[in-house]
Structure 1
């Protein structure tokens, strides 16, 4: 046994134990034949650092992983990082800019080499921070979404999907980020409300018979207008449908078309149609017969005006930034008399979530996945229960998005990432293959090929995470060896494909060795559970479902647990711009990783958002300190590590009671974790440790002092209780380990010699046969009686050191027997002595079950003064209670006051109600 220091210092033990676990390979102990259990982490960006959302997400994963490992399973927590195409390229380009360099100063190969260099030097920050949190990940098999094995899987998936006609090239509108110079997904666009304007324009009919009015929030796009739409049911425009309009500035002739998109109730009922620069207009243009290739594009990749295909934009506009062009267009329209009026309007404006610039709908050629087809099996998997979404309330959102899913644009105009395995011939044919040699073979000798410069969307590769991290496709797959692949040419048709693998950067592929021998992905797929924030349900979770089911023939995980957000203390969303973010590493420095982890678990209630409360984190640090001090008490009283897995045989009621309480806590924790009720599991173990074990059991087994002629000495704890207490403390350490791994491992070894670490100990067995109901009832009765007496003493200002006589009235034989058996505990814990006869004078009365317990107070306190004090306090509490009730009953106050003021008034009202009731009870006890 190692004597514990007087003060619990988390920092002194955390680094030491984590290094020990990792060095000894205890995150993935050898367990041949054990039931496999697998979870994958949402791979954080290689550019990232630990934020409070990561702390929540990874804490929950670690709790389940450590629990599974303690249950004897071959638990594997797959760990890795994402190459984060946009974010990483931005970081490296920003560093280059500090040296007055830019990406285009280098070849693509040179730039990519610089990114790999950055990755090796600076890309491991977050993995070190995950270690500080205590995450028991399988670091020996750490993966990276651009390591050699993973790249092989990405290439195969792209080629296979293309061969099957589920991946194709098409000209469509995309969300274009002019700041980054790439397409981004809908999910990477954030909408902000911006003060803007609504410009009403007058377009003349080509035949000179009049004008038609349209309104727009982006007047510059009129340079690429291709139609004006009116509703077919709008009688005002029936006569002009089919006529032409001559656009101001460009002079372009465009038709007036009938389309349901035009709302007769909005503005003039006529809308300008710019199919190359608006998603709704794109659909109207297609219905009007415009082919995507014929739609006009008036912007370049930087958001500057470019000449349209018909050459009708005046030269003075070409090259202007889009917002400068807006000003120039308005001035010209006003000069030509085509500007009717302008009104102020709040505009919903799309911004890139990384670049912070306004996003443009832009017509361009990109690669798309047929998400609607891939979504169907995923939808059915959730409907049938093959995948269980927890909380179930998220299913409605999932179905709504999946059933209305759009083609998934998977190409990005970057240099860092998985370069698309497609080669273009001069005649427009496209050859898709895993290697250039295969593409050249399909194209034929003498055909010059140019590789597509684009890379794949980061989420395309991370969608393969549950199976590509486990070695797929190297091992036998249901979808391998399906025969020769046909060769095709043209846009969306299947292309030449092969299964030869070439890493994107073989000389620097960092980590990601295949899982060790015997760990075939067939044993690990599907994974047992996935934990993620609800904010990546469609970015990542749904896409893993689609790709996993398609390529593996099975769902990627059995349960999807979606947790909420960690918000600021006032409920606001955290953001750097608001200055209300919380650094989890700072919290670890102040309170320890165990306290932060326990806070996360205790506050996580089936997906509800968590309000950050540093006081609660501090409170869980105090909880750790209480456990530490309880272990020190045990050491001082001869209580040591147990050598027993099963509960020791017990004869004393108090020992039988704590054994039963332990078993019930094991059951509660097991059930809560099985149902992903992290708060329920944390609170069950917290209440047991703090209240049942520390506050009551250790107090109840303290011996009565041994009085000698010379002095008073501390007696010894009963041998049975020492044995039971050592066993119970062991069970506590095992149950608490998933939540607080560091302190529990430290105490595990401090309590005595062990032949194994706690991280690989055996989870307690909840054997109900060891529960003795009679003992439980007796100790529960004792606790209630002591608590009631203590409450009465406190409320009536009885001096703490005063010993009081205890008279009992109407006691049953069972209660009398209990009083006799528990006389020593009652005398010590309640500071009372049994007395016979009827008490005289004023007394406090306590009722527990059928018996009334009377505590004479004459000579101990001034009874009349106490009655007066209580009466006065009751009046004050009731006055405040009634005043608050009046405020809350005033509709004007409730409607006009700030929400936080109303909530405070409600809380204060409840407090005063409780205070008045408590004081009434105290006065009533005086009799």
Structure 2
């Protein structure tokens, strides 16, 4: 007998060990089964499980378990990412506690320290993944800096270099002054900041008493200006185009140029051009062949290219000094307070500086064209489809990809420099020396580039390097291209698009057939989670408190395509209550001696109630199959809930109670027990991908020796439910009974009829068939509907005060309530409720019609008000209907 209380914490670790030891997570490359492959997005080795991970891994695990049950040889490829900057930052912090820096150790010793840390604590995220109950092929786990993957990275770099797609260039990049490296756009977070717009006078060279005034938020970069630009059609400045100004504080002469980049309506219409420290200015500088003057060092302090008074100053100090000197010279025209977006490093939390540096770049434009065509031609499909537009927009406007980073942890660039600056790119140092000797005609000294590659570079190779590429392995032939990639929208460009580019270039095929984009997990009010807001939800704590199945079920039920998930602890608590309901239903069956019956044939049942529930199971299996095939995890989860809680527990088990009580009818009792056990077992199979732990435990408790993990999806539920399992006559009759009881309960609830007060019930316009139904189910109807006595009439009803009617099919049903409630008090209560809802509606509509509120309130607050208004209108309409019925 099952324990009285469901305690997931006592079961999960034991069950997971059984699964893992069974070997059933593993794929079988020698199999002849059809394949199904998912590449797990590799989490950072520094990471810990957050709610976004929980959603991603849950949905992928649902698909993998489902496809295994459907007869596929399923590979879910696990692994972790070395996460260059994030990992180096953690190790450097640890060194700081010892009073050391990486430079004190030197590169090799520091890398040894990082490996030491990775081996010690890098498995934490993997342990936490197991807590979530996921079932990847752990034997195939890879790390982005495994030797095999590292060799593949070197091969890819060399090949792209030889093909002219990787090159070295001096270009503008996002520079993190704290880590002293280039960072990707993904690692730059714009923050709304209080600042100023400074209007500065630039004197004309020919007439220093005449000025052109520019507006800027960064006056310190004035020292790196190489032009002033105006719009070519701006009438205010036509006569100045081609002239020069004398740069304030520097004395350098710079030209006034015309460029469409200038906005005549913004500021003064004239802008300073600093090509080495602004991305837009960089493009203007290239168009006009302007000098690129870098005025900062790696720490974002001003360097020796600026006048002596400013050398060595930080950006902040330089700004103060420049403004003071401009004011003293009478060149600071005015200052306006503004709010503007300032870029900060995601991890360093310091201001990011656009910086002109020597970096390695990849010609992403050329690689993007086949990746664009693959989605346009349908070889890879986005779900939901509207994400196509985001993918196209990013790739159609793609810029050269800066793939080098100035840190030590990562894949070191396989390039060596000779003293004269010649570059030799090769997979090994020996090959580089051989190339250099061939070039120079003699052996020469070479120095390896100290840069490492952007983490996304190796991640872009994940779908095929994990399968053994560049070797032509059986796994590569069998599992590539993969079937689906499940990820968030924020890395469509940074990861999805780059995997598409690399897969098409090196393998000649797309890396995945479908890209399922799940939404963002927000808090229960719709706000984005952040530590500063204190609204971050820790999935590990929720699993400790409510069990893993509860959070998996909750996340699946909320995963509506294209809509952000609003997750609160109360929702997970509701998921736990559902698990308890499943447990209690199974325990109820055990208490009534329901056990799995060998040889039971559901198609040979005789009782209408059993033929009905078997039909419902078949239709449920079909719906869930189609939902999971179409990534409608929410529909699958909610169908499971409605069936178990509503159809099975609220009605079927209640319908069985009189049969269980009548031990004299042995044939009906035996069939009811066998059918109930079969239905529960089928439910466990259908629910297993979403709720694996509780279903596995209950499967075992009903005497099945084979793991549920190894079971198959019901044949009748793979396409449309097999017609032989559907008894439409039984469904029609039992659904009629369900609807009738539901309506009776609803009316009793509407009018506050005390639970213990039975009421009479009258049927009008009754046909002989309906009369037979009523008599067949009279006992159940009276017990579940709290009915004292039944009356059946063939004529139409004449309503009296206090009688409420409703219609099911062609039959009118009347529920007399006058003897059970105080009619006057009930009318007053309903009117009072309507007034309360009308007051709420007026308040909400007033706020939502207030333009000032709409412009200032956060989007999640506005959405909350709209949802409250919709609920208030629904409640008012429902109460008004109840009042109309009573009247």
Q: TM-score, normalised by structure 1?
A: 0.89
Match of 2:242 in 1: 242
Matching of residues 412-423 of structure 1 within 5 Å: 412-423=405-416
| 1:151 match | 150
* Contact 2:484–2:512 (Cα < 8 Å) also in 1: yes
Unmatched runs of 5 consecutive residues or more in structure 1: 477-518
SS of 2:195's equivalent? strand
- Structure 2 vs 1, CA of residues 797 and 88 (structure 1 numbering), >3 Å: closer, same or farther? closer
* C-alpha distance 654-185 of structure 1, shift in aligned 2 (>3 A): same
Q: Which residue of 2 aligns with 1:491?
A: none
1:844-863 correspondence to structure 2 within 5 Å: 847-853=807-813, 862=819
1:797–1:341 distance in 2 versus 1, CA, 3 Å = closer
Closer, same or farther in 2 for the Cα pair 1:798/1:211, shift >3 Å?
A: closer
Go from structure 1 to structure 2 and tell me whether the alpha carbon gap of 1:431 and 1:28 turns closer, same or farther (over 3 Å shift). same
- Among 439, 447, 464, the alignment partner of 1:450 is 447
**Shift in alpha-carbon separation, 1:401–1:757, aligned structure 2, 3 A:** same
Does the CA-based 8 Å contact 2:845-2:869 persist in structure 1? Answer: no
Matches within 5 A, 1:30-45: 32-45=31-44
Give the one of 658, 663, 674 matched to 2:618.
663
Deviations 1:134-180 (A, max 9, x none): 11111111110000111111111111111111111111011111011
Aligned position for 2:719: none
Q: CA deviation at 1:919?
A: 4.1
Structure 2: gaps spanning 5 or more residues? 717-721
C-alpha contact 1:663 1:768 (8 A) present in aligned 2: no
Out of 656-665 and 198-207, give the one that drifted further: 198-207
Whole-angstrom distance in 1 between the partners of 2:229 and 2:805: 86
Contact 2:837–2:873, Cα closer than 8 Å, also in 1: yes
Given that 2:603 and 2:724 are in contact with CA atoms closer than 8 Å, whether structure 1 keeps it comes out as no
Structure 1 segment 432-831 matched on structure 2, within 5 A: 432-444=425-437, 445-475=442-472, 519-643=474-598, 647-703=602-658, 718-754=669-705, 756-766=706-716, 767-794=722-749, 800=755, 807-831=762-786
Distance 1:267 1:869 in 2: 68
- 1:526/1:902 Cα in 2 relative to 1: closer, same or farther (>3 Å)? closer
Matching residue of 1:233: 233
C-alpha displacement of 1:680:
0.9
Partner of 1:916: 880
- What SS does the corresponding residue of 1:520 show, helix, strand or coil? helix
Q: 1:234 to 1:739 in 2, by over 3 A?
A: same
Provide closer, same or farther for how the CA distance between residues 184 and 794 of structure 1 changes in structure 2, counting only shifts above 3 A.
Answer: closer
Shift of 1:844: 6.2
Moved more, 893-902 or 534-543: 893-902
The DSSP-based 3-state class of the residue aligned with 1:702 is helix
Instruction: Summarize the Cα distance change of 1:892–1:132 in structure 2 as closer, same or farther, 3 Å threshold.
Output: closer
- Greater CA deviation, 161-170 or 822-831? 822-831
1:836-847 maps to which residues of 2 (within 5 A)?
A: 847=807
Provide, for residues 453-494 of structure 1, a one-character-per-residue CA deviation record: whole Å limited to 9, x for no partner.
Answer: 000000000001111111111226xxxxxxxxxxxxxxxxxx
Q: Which residue of 2 aligns with 1:391?
A: 384
Of stretches 718-727 and 140-149 in structure 1, the one that deviates more from structure 2 is: 718-727
CA distance in 2, matches of 1:791, 1:564: 36
Match of 1:213 in 2: 213
Distance in 1 separating the partners of 2:368 and 2:774: 68
Answer 1 or 2: which has greater helix percent: 2
Aligned position for 2:7: 9
1:360 corresponds to: 353
In 1, the alpha carbon distance for the partners of 2:691 and 2:396 equals 42
The answer as to whether partners of 1:171 and 1:365 remain within 8 angstroms in 2 is: yes
CA distance in 2 between partners of 1:217 and 1:534 (Å):
32
Residues of 1 paired with 2:312 and 2:567: CA distance? 49
Contact 2:481–2:511 (CA under 8 A) maintained in structure 1 = yes
Structure 2 counterparts to residues 127-146 of structure 1, below 5 A: 127-146=126-145
The alignment partner of 1:222 has SS state of helix
Equivalent in the alignment of 1:181: 180
898-907 or 226-235, larger mean C-alpha shift: 898-907
Number of residue-to-residue matches in the alignment: 863
Q: 1:325 to 1:714 in 2, by over 3 A?
A: farther
Aligned to 1:78: 77
Residues 804, 188 of structure 1: alpha-carbon distance in 2 compared, 3 angstrom cutoff: closer
Instruction: Give deviations 1:315-358, integer Å, cap 9, x for gaps.
Output: 23211112111111222222333322222222321111111111
| Alpha-carbon shift at residue 120 of structure 1 (Å) | 0.4
CA shift digits 1:514-545 (9 cap, x unpaired): xxxxx521110011000001111111111111
Q: Distance in 1 between matches of 2:726 and 2:268?
A: 79
Taking the aligned partners of 1:228 and 1:895, their CA distance within structure 2 comes to 40
CA distance in 2, matches of 1:644, 1:423: 72
Secondary structure of 1:302's counterpart equals: coil
Query: Following the alignment from structure 1 to structure 2, what is the Cα–Cα distance between the partners of residues 347 and 440?
Result: 51
CA shift for structure 1 position 85: 0.1
Q: Give yes or no for contact 1:46–1:82 (8 Å, CA) kept in 2.
A: yes
For the Cα contact (< 8 Å) 2:607–2:668, is it kept in 1?
no
SS at match of 2:41: coil
Deviation at residue 648 of structure 1 after TM alignment:
4.2
CA distance in 2, matches of 1:542, 1:646: 51
| In 1, Cα distance between equivalents of 2:529 and 2:165 | 39
Contact 2:179 2:348 (C-alpha < 8 Å) held by counterparts: yes
Question: Is the Cα contact below 8 Å between 1:199 and 1:339 reproduced in 2?
Answer: yes
SS of equivalent to 1:749: helix
> Compared with structure 1, are the counterparts of its residues 316 and 826 closer, same or farther at alpha carbon in structure 2 (3 Å cutoff)?
same
How large is the Cα RMSD of the aligned pairs? 2.5
C-alpha separation in 2, matches of 1:10 and 1:827: 38
Q: Compared with structure 1, are the counterparts of its residues 804 and 364 closer, same or farther at alpha carbon in structure 2 (3 Å cutoff)?
A: closer
Partner Cα separation in structure 1 for residue 816 and residue 752 of structure 2: 14
Deviations 1:207-237, CA, capped at 9 Å, x for gaps: 3463332222111112122122233333443
SS in 2 for 1:701: helix
Structure 1 range deviating more: 201-210 or 372-381:
201-210
Higher deviation after alignment, 768-777 or 405-414: 768-777
Cα distance in 2 between the residues matched to 1:804 and 1:338 = 90
* Deviation of 1:764 (Å): 1.1
Please tell me whether the aligned partners of residues 368 and 395 of structure 2 are also in contact (alpha carbons under 8 angstroms).
Answer: yes
> CA 1:613/1:670 → structure 2, altered by over 3 Å: closer, same or farther?
same
Helix, strand or coil at the partner of 2:326:
helix
Q: CA separation in 1, counterparts of 2:833 and 2:603?
A: 51
Mapped partners of 2:163, 2:614: distance in 1? 62
Distance verdict in 2 for CA 1:450–1:620, change over 3 Å: same
